[in-house]
Amino acid sequence: MAEDLLDRTPARVPRTRLAQATSRRWRRFVIVLAVIGPGIIAANAGNDAGGIVTYAAAGAEFGYRTLFFMVFVTVALVVVQEMCSRLGVFTGKGLAALIREEFSLRVAAFALVCLVIANTGLVISEFAGIGAALQLFGVSKYLSIPISAVAIWALVLFGSYRYAERIFLVLSLVFFAYPVAAILAHPNWAEVLSNTVVPHFLLTSRFLLLGVALVGTTITPYMQLYVAAAVADKGISVEDYGYERLDAVAGAIFGDVISLFIIIATAAAVRRSVQLNSAAQASAALEPVAGAFAAHLFGIGLFGASALAGAVVPLSTSYALSEAVGVERSVSRSFREAPVFLGLFTGQVIIGSAVALATSNLVQLLLVTQILNGLITPVILAFILVMANRRSLLGDAANGPIFRAVSTVCVAIVGALSFVVLVQTVLSMFGVGSA
């Protein structure tokens, strides 16, 4: 009997170790599933109506010249998203609450005003995107925008938006056709590579304006609000931060890879410098994939992305402001229970749809709102950088010397670019300089 036990013991030990190893792997897998999401969702949310049109405009007007710029923007997005997720994990709070606690009342109020302006511009662009998308199907914007505004408002207020959100998300997945379209369009890959690794900038007002629009549509303030708040709401522990960091970094890179392919596909399809004035022109890059149905395919994706962001963006503003002033904030509450939260949401939907309805050129409106975002983004990034550097807030998780230097350079470049464009804009109002 003893000998039998001795014979069986060695076989049992490996099985036990194997079971333990399997259990650890399953635990890691479950943790990854629980943690992953905020970074990927936020980064890909940048590929909304304004994003798609801005990337397409860059490819149509400047070919591959903006590819190197997008590489820098991707690095900056990775840095910013990582800092926001770290702030959310190690403090358990969203950006609005942190800004209110870490800065004086006047400074915090200034930051929140910037957030409101930036997000209101985005809401306008989303409804402009809805109008432009449905015009491809022959539906007038005077019909599509008001109906969509009422539908989105009702879906959110009556709690059924979660189901509609999934539908809009599926519709927006058509933009994953861009990598295929870029390959089928047979671009000059040597030229693509050259412009990706070596700057080919133009020192013109138009190029700088579009550069700021690319910043504004890629590193949007509401993305940072969403990441920090979502991470805090999910209660991700400090021990599991490594998984969340991977989520933030991978999401930023993945979202911008799609953006790069949109620029490449559009540049290869257009093959000459033109300024986009319609959604039909922007859809040309999908012709290698969809042929005569390119405009309809583009319209479906643009509508899905616009409708999805048309609810998410005003909700992010409502959450931020409600969090800052400490009032009830939930889509499951009634107007009587959460008047500030739902009132802010309603006001943004009304303003966004009304301005989009009053504009004749919806594509140009999309570009202008992204430029506005680009001018405001450095302000928000400065707040994020200061908080991520504070050991009094994050302790040992604060930015180290290398990360502090890299993040400071990224924020400084974005700020300098926005400042130059702002100066150019002011000078042009007085007839100084050329467009």
Highest mean pLDDT among 31-45, 266-280, 414-428: 266-280
Q: Which of 381, 372, 81 is nearest to 212 (CA)?
A: 372
For residue 287, give every residue at least 6 positions away whose Cβ sits within 8 Å of its Cβ, in sequence order, or none.
181, 269, 294
Secondary structure class of 140 (helix, strand, coil): coil
- In the chain, the amino acid numbered 106 is R
In which residue are the tokens 């890909």 written? Answer: 44
Hey, where are the domains in the chain?
37-429
CA–CA gap between residue 213 and residue 306 (Å, rounded): 17
How far apart are alpha carbons 420 and 319 in whole angstroms?
Answer: 32
For residues 126 and 309, give the distance between their C-alpha atoms in angstroms, rounded to a whole number. 6
pLDDT at residue 38 is higher than 70: no
Contact by Cβ (8 Å): 119, 313: yes
What's the Rg (C-alpha) of the chain?
A: 23
Angstrom distance (rounded) from CA 12 to CA 53: 62
Q: What are the residues whose beta carbons fall under 8 Å from the beta carbon of 364, sequence distance 6 or more? A: 277
Cβ contact 331:340 at 8 Å: no
* Cα 264 from Cα 148, distance rounded (Å): 32
What is the DSSP secondary-structure string of 77-107? HHHHHHHHHHHHHHH---HHHHHHHHS-HHH
The yes-or-no verdict on residue 425 having pLDDT over 80 is no
**Is the alpha carbon torsion for 69, 75, 79, 84 positive or negative?**
positive
Residue 1: pLDDT band (50, 70, 90) is very low
Between 272 and 111, the more confident residue is: 111
Residue-level length of the chain: 435
SS3 111: helix
Report DSSP letters for 34-67, one per residue.
Answer: HH-SHHHHHHHHTSSHHHHHHHHHHHHHHTTTTH
**Residue 62: which residues within 8 A CB-CB, separation 6 or more?**
202, 207, 210, 267, 273
Question: What does the alpha-carbon distance between residue 353 and residue 131 come to, in Å, rounded to a whole number?
Answer: 9
**Residue 261: which pLDDT band, with cuts at 50, 70 and 90?**
very high
Higher pLDDT, 364 or 38: 364
What confidence score (pLDDT) does residue 215 get?
Answer: 87
> Which pLDDT tens digit goes with each residue over 81-134?
899 889 988 998 888 888 988 998 888 889 888 888 888 888 998 899 999 999
pLDDT at 7 exceeding the cut of 70: no
Average pLDDT for the chain: 82
Return the pLDDT at 3.
Answer: 44
CA distances (Å), 311 to each of 38, 45, 127, 201, 222, in order?
A: 17, 12, 10, 36, 12
What percentage of the chain exceeds 90 in pLDDT? Answer: 29
- pLDDT class for 33, splitting at 50, 70, 90? very low
> In the prediction, which pLDDT does 96 show?
83
Which pLDDT does position 5 carry in this prediction?
A: 39
Give the span between the Cα atoms of 38 and 244, in whole angstroms.
Answer: 8
Is residue 213 within 8 A of residue 56, CB to CB? The reply is: no
Cα torsion angle, 233, 234, 239, 241, sign: negative
pLDDT class of 435 with cuts at 50, 70, 90: very low
Cβ(428)–Cβ(209) below 8 Å: no
CATH superfamily of 37-429: Amino acid/polyamine transporter I (1.20.1740.10)
Integer angstrom CA distances of residue 14 from 4, 27, 28, 315: 17, 20, 21, 53
Helical pair 294-325 and 141-157, crossing angle rounded to 10 deg? 40
- Angstrom CA distances, 349 to 144, 187, 272, 357, stand at 14, 40, 37, 12
First to last CA, the chain: 94
CA distance linking residue 387 with residue 398, whole number of Å: 8
CA 72 to chain centre: 16
